[in-house]
Amino acid sequence: MQKTILIFGAGLNQYLLIKAARDLGITSVVLDPNSDAPGKALADHFYVVPGNDYDTTKQIALKHRVNRLATTQMEKPLRLMAKLAQELDLPFHSPEVVERSLDKWLMKQAFLQYGVPCARGKLFQKNEEIKESDLKDFRYPLVLKPKDATSSQGVFRVEKFSEIKKYADETGKFSGNGELIIEEFLVGKEYIIDLAIIKNC
């Protein structure tokens, strides 16, 4: 079977992924909304497609008979990718797993369900008044974060309640539905893992 991978994004963050596909002899079909994206030159097939255009994306996947999906350093297309993989029976995370990975509150609930240690937190709805009494059992410093934003947007470390009142509206702006999370700050090393495996395509 011809190995063909549909890669979402052709920016600098995806450049090495496209190059890896070429080095491995895998046909790359690459989508990006930018017609001058850097990875365009390395792609076997390149299409200018808006990130939310599911129907066009699906048509391209069927046209090239892709058998794998990939992206790197980018979270926005994951929901679309999960839906596409489910419809075309391609290996990828399920929509439910993707949703838990993008929604910080659902992620925390999954951690708690399976006994994975995590920071204690509390969810606040859009425009819900945050009262100091809501956090009486929490220890400062605390972290204020949007429920579903990426790249640390709208995230603040706060040392006292007055700082929560100061930054809450700003944090809410980065949340898709205005919900935000307040949780205890964990001291320790931070690890960031970004992994793309395409050799078994």
Task: Assign residue 75 the CATH number of its domain.
Answer: 3.40.50.20
Same domain? 40 vs 78: yes
68-112 pLDDT, tens digit per residue, is 999 998 888 999 999 999 999 999 999 999 999 899 999 999 999
Is residue 66 one of the residues assigned to a domain?
yes
Calculated CA dihedral for residues 6, 152, 102, 59, nearest 10 degrees = -30
Same domain? 93 vs 167: no
Same domain? 33 vs 70: yes
User: Comparing C-alpha atoms, which of 89, 85, 88 is closest to residue 97?
Assistant: 85
Task: Assign residue 166 the CATH number of its domain.
Answer: 3.30.1490.20
Number of domains in the chain: 2
Is residue 190 one of the residues assigned to a domain?
no
Is residue 62 one of the residues assigned to a domain?
yes
Is residue 151 one of the residues assigned to a domain?
yes
User: Comparing C-alpha atoms, which of 26, 57, 65 is closest to residue 42?
Assistant: 26
Distances 114 to 102, 106, 119, 124 between C-alpha atoms, Å: 18, 13, 14, 23
39 CB-near residues (< 8 Å, 6+ apart): 7, 9, 10, 11, 14, 15, 18, 30, 32
* Mean pLDDT of all residues belonging to the chain: 92
Same domain? 138 vs 88: no
- On the question of pLDDT at 158 being above 60, the answer is yes
Same domain? 96 vs 124: no
118-155 pLDDT, tens digit per residue, is 999 999 999 899 999 999 999 999 999 999 988 789 99
Is residue 193 one of the residues assigned to a domain?
no
Is residue 113 one of the residues assigned to a domain?
no
Please tell me the predicted confidence (pLDDT) of residue 195: 59
Q: 3-class DSSP state for residue 54?
A: helix
Domain residue limits at 96 = 4-101
Rg (CA), the chain: 20
Is residue 189 one of the residues assigned to a domain?
no
Same domain? 133 vs 94: no
Please tell me the predicted confidence (pLDDT) of residue 2: 77
Mean pLDDT across 189-193: 78
Same domain? 91 vs 14: yes
43-73 pLDDT, tens digit per residue, is 999 999 999 999 999 999 999 999 999 999 8
Is residue 170 one of the residues assigned to a domain?
yes
Same domain? 13 vs 76: yes
Same domain? 17 vs 96: yes
